Structure 1
Amino acid sequence: MQLPTRPHLLALSIALALTACGSNIEDEPLVIPAAPADQGAAETVAVPSATAFVDTVATNQRGDARYATLATNAGVRVLGGFLDIWKPLTQIVDAGVTAPAVDSFPAVVASTWTGVPGDGTPDGTIANSTVHQANINYVINATTNRTADQAVQAYLDDRRGKGYSVTDGLGPLTNAWRTAAQQTTSITSVASDATTVLYNDSGNNTGVGSTTNTTFGNVVDLVNLVGNNASTEPAKRFYKYARPYRWSSSVVLLPTLVPAKSTTPATDGGFPSGHTAEAVRDTIAMAYALPERYQEILSRGLELGEMRIIAGMHSPTDVIGGRILGTATAAANLYDSTNAAKKAAAVTQAHTALIAATGTTADTFAAYAQSGTTATDRFADYATNKTNYSRRLTFGFAQIASTTATAVVPKGAEVLLETRQPYLSDAQRRVVLKTTALASGYPVSDDSEGWGRLNLFAAADGYGAFSGNVTIAMDASKGGFNAADRWRNNISGSGKLIKQGTGTLKLAGANTWTGGTELTAGTLTGESTAAFGAGDVYNSGGTLVSNASSAVKLAGKYTQLSGSTVLELDVGGAAAGSQGTLTVAGTATIAGGTLRIKFASGYAPKAGTVLTVLTAGSLKGRFTTVSVDGFSSVTATYGATTLTLTLG
């Protein structure tokens, strides 16, 4: 038996002095269990041994397009997974042009490729006919069945500046952002003669930069700088994969985009999608500056990519390639230390300007950013966004390689979560990216660094698994996500969660981690039945909150020490059954502290109501203080397995 420490003895003496109806401790001393066992050092994720994209991004130069190879160009190399689907000629050299004398270049192969499949020129070979055919069939189906609304959006997303288009993913903040950025566009609708006249956007795309825009220019600069070294042209010229309407006459190109068709197919490759790459990197920059809309704005980036398919301009593999290259180039520029001051200035400006424009405060801004409805903000529904984002990562392709390869995380990728999870270290953010990564084996996505498997939507929802001791320290005084965050992933693993600091962490997944939970400070909220996993929960100095639609169930023991500890139960009404109550499979040991009962909106119990708020396999000890909102008189009855409260 473990002997109580001095603080535990004090808690015991206080508990023994309490008076209440019932008794479960008078005949035996209260034995305080030990905290969940130490699970060892936290997991770390090593940088892959492959050449790092962030270190070589400057090799991706548009002017090198005719000579780029996997060995010489980072943009070509990061998309090397496409070679499992399509094998182009090593290189194309225009007639009369000599390639630079670079030893690492393979033999140059001249070609008269016209960019039209089946024309007899040696442009490449299909390496996986199943995936290739599925790729083109997907476009045929999408273009045959597109709706009128999709046709309009696909046109606008093609002809407008991408930086302007994607800002509608900011929902309630869209107009404020566009005004602050001084963004303009000349493409506001589909002209009646768009099927015969090519309209180009004469607007300013991302807006006005810091040279003349003193209140928001740093934000615009940030969106622009992620486009450095980001050209898709070298990859297009290297892979030489045709646009889908050139592969099949059954692809129904959007009639309003017929005037936008290139007249030089040999310089108009489909893979990767340039529109997608630009939209993805723009939305990553916007998410960095404004993490309150992180998942929504990233969803908009992938949506624009899908519009390229619906338009008939690109195939799914083109869009996947664009996503990968766009993500890698955005990360490389955000990771670049010379951009540190610009990043910080952009985050500050974004919040200062938009808080002023919306009439909010630092405390109310986040709620305002999420205040749209499905009628006013098509990204307002979390479940829909999650489903669409996941679908757009793979477009339904079957896995063609190992499905169980361990995820790797690219060097520098942790910067993509820097403002979304500011309370984590870089090492912790790398673990988040690993534990939320896309499964292996999907076409194009298995690059050696791991860019293709990053799932930033899932990563924004916190860890996917715990290994070792996972210590989370949040500082509420810093505001934003430092003060409060919600993890919605289903967390597995054998690790232990240790919550420190003054901030609030909310857990909303169907969690199964086994190493237990230790709450030393701040607030830890359970918003789902299995929020706290499958281990013991030990509250030694914070506030544990049960705020689920039914009882929060602890699979192990619950221990609450004396002092500033609080167990808060946000209880619902009869119609909600056990909403907000706590069920403990093992022993609930209460050595003091506070039990606080709050009531869910719309529930107002009357005097005389009896609430069963805590059920355990065995209930030991009692709280020092019991408080119930709206009631000055409460009688607590401690049974062998239950705690009931009678409201006075």
Structure 2
Amino acid sequence: MTRFQSIAAASAALLLATALTPAFADNLSLPAPPTGVGHAETAPPPANVLAYVDTGATNQRGDACHATLETNAGVRVLSGFLAVWTPRTPFVDADQDAPAKDGCPAIKKTDWDGIPGSATDGVKKRPDLHRQNIAYSIKVTGEHTPERDLSAYLDDRRGKNVSVTDGLGPLTDAWRKGAQQTTTITDMPADATTVKYEDKGNNRGVGAKDNPDLGKAVDLIEAGSADGSTEPAKRYYKFARPYRQSDKVRVVPQLVPAESSKPISDGGFPSGHTAEAWRDALVMAYLVPQRYQEMVTRAAVLGENRIRAGMHQTFDVLGGRVLATAIVAYNLNLPKNVPLRQEAYEQSQTWLMKATHSSDFQALMAFAHSEPKAKDALADYAWNKAFVDARLTYGYQQISDPNLAPTVPKGAEVLLETRQPYLNAEQRRVVLKTTEIASGYPIISDPEGWGRLDLFRAADGYGAFNGDVTLVMDASKGGFNAADTWKNAISGKGMLLKQGTGSLTLAGKNSWTGGTTIEDGTLVAASDTAFGNGDIYLSGGKAVIDTRGLQVRGNITVRKQANVEIKLQDKNNVRLQVNKTMSIEGGNLVLTAAPSQTFKAGDTLKLVNASTVQGKFDSISLAGHTLKVTYSKNDISARIVK
């Protein structure tokens, strides 16, 4: 071979090597960062609607003819019931015919019953839904077991706060001790079929005046029920209990002594027990956000137990939830309660950490979920979610416009304040907006939107990025500021910008298209579509891949100040599948594995597959092993050397 031929051959080899070798940092052409839609989403309160948080004080006991849609916030928030039911006349609570008084018309004793011997006093505007309503009561009460009867009895007879505190699971005993909570109803007495037992305990416990441990928490729970009576609405809507509507509805035998003999003063809508349970549970979820969704579930369980007891029906239970949610938000927003809610939250966290020997918020979080379902009835997240979801509408069809825009009541954002403290008030409103129930369902279609709130789903973060979301998590503040998980399936055209030192895990089947930028902290992919369908841009911080194969529908860019961690789950799967280009300016790729995973010399780890790979990491490492890394036009892999 001549010298000229040798030079030509070497040049050809060099050109071939260049064609097969990814571009490195000095000649990278990096994609631009995602831009999303260019604005954040907002969730203004509905216009031209009286806000419950401004008018909640009007929900006072009094003559029914004085409690109207115009004058009473509690009656007004339940006005969705009027789509299926028209109460016939105003009502005066009297055991005999009542003459006209204070401008109220004369009312006969029989008006509560409509016609003597009948069950209701009004017009069924949707008889099909009324049949579905009572059929559910007949079905559920017919499916009784000793365990269900006992649960229904306890939720009826003992203090409602005593009932819902078991929603705290492993934290229940510590809470009850700190609250100095007592009850005299712990089982079903043998003679309960003939004797009506009343709880002689203190229900919520002892307040701050005499209780330095959880007294402020008890005070806030009490405050959460202020102006919370269901009586005005009961008297306005005049809807009979299920056992008065059908003799096929079974009342738990031990609760028969608790039945009222006066239909005229014994309305079923809304359920008072259900409303109280939701009021207390939502305040306790505020105080102990480690069990937020479990407390929501426990309130829903108590509502279901009212149906199992034969004392209420689906209409009543739905109404109780709607009214209670508005009442709690009203009370938490009262200026006089703002300092108390912060003090009560801090006291609750401090006491529970001390009582459970938990070093910090995250340790308490772990303790709060440390027991199996055999001990903690609400330990199963999937069961809780399905149970609550089914009881947000109780399976009713939409009877009015199903496509109304989402609406978030004024002040509702306070309900997520401790669960998502890293979001500002407007962002929490958007979370509520993007996770709420569709419009058009009976009972829960109030003018403001209280009935459409899905607090279980809202606790799992955004449901959509319809605008751009800037997430700032300051880990130094602790709690959910340091680490949280969003489980919802997030859609939309917006983008996510992760800032701050905290860590967020995305676990849903996400499909947003506006892209993801990580500037600081950690973003964890816990599902194959965790980062949506847009570009991913790491200008700093860290992306953690904790799934078998993260799908990146667009480009992924790793700048020099950024890092990537891949949690290995096996040796064969490609961990990062990129539809377009992976551009690597530098940074470190750290491989981690569970202690049970073993590797031997010669094993090859397939890490990245992309349409194009350009650039390389400053380092790729796996603790305890030496790696030989191979970059190609489409792949990155590492072979275990030792």
Q: Normalising TM by the smaller chain, what interval?
A: over 0.9
Structure 1 residue 116, shift from structure 2 partner: 4.1
Of 570, 574, 577, the residue aligned with 1:573 is 570
Q: Within 5 A, what are the aligned runs for 1:168-207?
A: 168-207=166-205
Q: Within 5 A, what are the aligned runs for 1:508-587?
A: 508-548=507-547, 550-563=548-561, 565-574=562-571, 578=573, 581-587=575-581
Structure 1 residue 96, shift from structure 2 partner: 4.3
How far apart, in 1, do the equivalents of 2:286 and 2:602 lie?
Answer: 52
Q: CA RMSD in A?
A: 1.8
Question: Comparing 396-405 with 69-78, which one deviates more in the overlay?
Answer: 396-405
How far apart, in 1, do the equivalents of 2:164 and 2:174 lie?
Answer: 14
CA contact (8 A) 1:216 1:353 kept: yes
How far apart, in 2, do the equivalents of 1:26 and 1:34 lie?
Answer: 18
Q: Which residue of 2 aligns with 1:341?
A: 339
Q: Within 5 A, what are the aligned runs for 1:75-90?
A: 75-90=74-89
How far apart, in 1, do the equivalents of 2:244 and 2:633 lie?
Answer: 75
How far apart, in 2, do the equivalents of 1:585 and 1:268 lie?
Answer: 64
Of 213, 218, 221, the residue aligned with 1:220 is 218
Secondary structure of the residue aligned to 2:109 is coil
Q: After superposition, what is the alpha-carbon deviation per residue over 1:533-589, rounded to whole angstroms, capped at 9, x for unaligned?
A: 1100000011001101x20111111000012x1111001125xx538x111111000
* CA pair 89-519 structure 1, distance change in 2 beyond 3 A: same
Q: After superposition, what is the alpha-carbon deviation per residue over 1:355-410, rounded to whole angstroms, capped at 9, x for unaligned?
A: 01101111411111111211111111110000001011111112211222111000
How far apart, in 2, do the equivalents of 1:41 and 1:537 lie?
Answer: 19
* CA pair 100-554 structure 1, distance change in 2 beyond 3 A: farther
CA contact (8 A) 2:25 2:616 kept: no
Q: Which residue of 2 aligns with 1:619?
A: 613
Q: Which residue of 1 aligns with 2:266?
A: 268
Q: Which residue of 2 aligns with 1:247?
A: 245
Q: After superposition, what is the alpha-carbon deviation per residue over 1:467-495, rounded to whole angstroms, capped at 9, x for unaligned?
A: 22110000000010000110000001100
1:634 matched to 2:614? The reply is: no
Q: Which residue of 1 aligns with 2:384?
A: 385
How far apart, in 2, do the equivalents of 1:409 and 1:97 lie?
Answer: 43
Largest Rg, 1 or 2: 2
How far apart, in 2, do the equivalents of 1:117 and 1:110 lie?
Answer: 11
Paired amino acid for 2:581: T
Q: Which residue of 1 aligns with 2:475?
A: 476
Q: Which residue of 2 aligns with 1:132?
A: 130
How far apart, in 2, do the equivalents of 1:477 and 1:444 lie?
Answer: 44
* CA pair 521-495 structure 1, distance change in 2 beyond 3 A: same
How far apart, in 2, do the equivalents of 1:344 and 1:99 lie?
Answer: 46
Q: Which residue of 1 aligns with 2:9?
A: none
Structure 1 residue 263, shift from structure 2 partner: 1.6
1:605 matched to 2:599? The reply is: yes
Paired amino acid for 1:307: N
Of 590, 596, 599, the residue aligned with 2:590 is 596
Of 27, 30, 33, the residue aligned with 1:29 is 27
Secondary structure of the residue aligned to 2:154 is helix
Q: Which residue of 1 aligns with 2:4?
A: none
Of 110, 117, 126, the residue aligned with 2:107 is 110
* CA pair 99-553 structure 1, distance change in 2 beyond 3 A: farther
Of 132, 156, 159, the residue aligned with 1:158 is 156
* CA pair 601-199 structure 1, distance change in 2 beyond 3 A: farther
Q: Which residue of 2 aligns with 1:467?
A: 466
* CA pair 234-613 structure 1, distance change in 2 beyond 3 A: same
CA contact (8 A) 1:91 1:109 kept: no
CA contact (8 A) 1:435 1:465 kept: yes
How far apart, in 1, do the equivalents of 2:595 and 2:399 lie?
Answer: 50
Q: After superposition, what is the alpha-carbon deviation per residue over 1:322-366, rounded to whole angstroms, capped at 9, x for unaligned?
A: 000011101110111210111011111111111011011114111
Q: After superposition, what is the alpha-carbon deviation per residue over 1:74-112, rounded to whole angstroms, capped at 9, x for unaligned?
A: 0000000101111002411354465546xxxxx746242
Structure 1 residue 628, shift from structure 2 partner: 1.1
Paired amino acid for 1:552: L
Paired amino acid for 1:622: K
How far apart, in 2, do the equivalents of 1:418 and 1:298 lie?
Answer: 15
* CA pair 635-117 structure 1, distance change in 2 beyond 3 A: farther
Question: Comparing 391-400 with 135-144, which one deviates more in the overlay?
Answer: 391-400
Paired amino acid for 2:268: G
Q: After superposition, what is the alpha-carbon deviation per residue over 1:100-144, rounded to whole angstroms, capped at 9, x for unaligned?
A: 46xxxxx74624236446537882111110111110110000001
Q: Which residue of 1 aligns with 2:404?
A: 405
How far apart, in 1, do the equivalents of 2:640 and 2:462 lie?
Answer: 40
Question: Comparing 336-345 with 594-603, which one deviates more in the overlay?
Answer: 594-603
CA contact (8 A) 1:156 1:190 kept: yes
* CA pair 614-73 structure 1, distance change in 2 beyond 3 A: same
Q: Which residue of 1 aligns with 2:484?
A: 485
Q: Which residue of 2 aligns with 1:319?
A: 317
Paired amino acid for 2:245: W
CA contact (8 A) 1:92 1:109 kept: no
Secondary structure of the residue aligned to 1:304 is helix
1:647 matched to 2:640? The reply is: yes
Q: Which residue of 2 aligns with 1:375?
A: 374
How far apart, in 2, do the equivalents of 1:380 and 1:409 lie?
Answer: 30
How many corresponding residue pairs? 618
CA contact (8 A) 1:530 1:553 kept: yes
CA contact (8 A) 1:69 1:91 kept: no
CA contact (8 A) 1:544 1:566 kept: yes
Q: Which residue of 2 aligns with 1:505?
A: 504
Unaligned runs of 5+ in 1: 1-21, 102-106
Identity level (%) = 50
* CA pair 98-412 structure 1, distance change in 2 beyond 3 A: farther
How far apart, in 1, do the equivalents of 2:387 and 2:587 lie?
Answer: 45
Q: Which residue of 1 aligns with 2:281?
A: 283
Paired amino acid for 2:439: S
How far apart, in 2, do the equivalents of 1:545 and 1:142 lie?
Answer: 46
* CA pair 505-26 structure 1, distance change in 2 beyond 3 A: closer
Unaligned runs of 5+ in 2: 1-19
How far apart, in 1, do the equivalents of 2:304 and 2:389 lie?
Answer: 12
CA contact (8 A) 2:56 2:330 kept: yes
Structure 1 residue 526, shift from structure 2 partner: 0.5
How far apart, in 2, do the equivalents of 1:533 and 1:26 lie?
Answer: 27
Q: After superposition, what is the alpha-carbon deviation per residue over 1:146-202, rounded to whole angstroms, capped at 9, x for unaligned?
A: 222111100000000000011111011010001111111100000111100000000
* CA pair 615-100 structure 1, distance change in 2 beyond 3 A: farther
Paired amino acid for 1:72: T
How far apart, in 2, do the equivalents of 1:199 and 1:310 lie?
Answer: 19
Secondary structure of the residue aligned to 1:518 is strand
Structure 1 residue 601, shift from structure 2 partner: 5.3
CA contact (8 A) 1:483 1:502 kept: yes
Q: After superposition, what is the alpha-carbon deviation per residue over 1:27-77, rounded to whole angstroms, capped at 9, x for unaligned?
A: 992111100124221010111121001111010002354521111100000
CA contact (8 A) 2:303 2:317 kept: yes
How far apart, in 2, do the equivalents of 1:28 and 1:352 lie?
Answer: 53
Paired amino acid for 1:641: N
Of 116, 119, 132, the residue aligned with 1:119 is 116
How far apart, in 1, do the equivalents of 2:24 and 2:480 lie?
Answer: 45
Secondary structure of the residue aligned to 1:266 is helix
Paired amino acid for 2:139: N
CA contact (8 A) 2:53 2:330 kept: yes
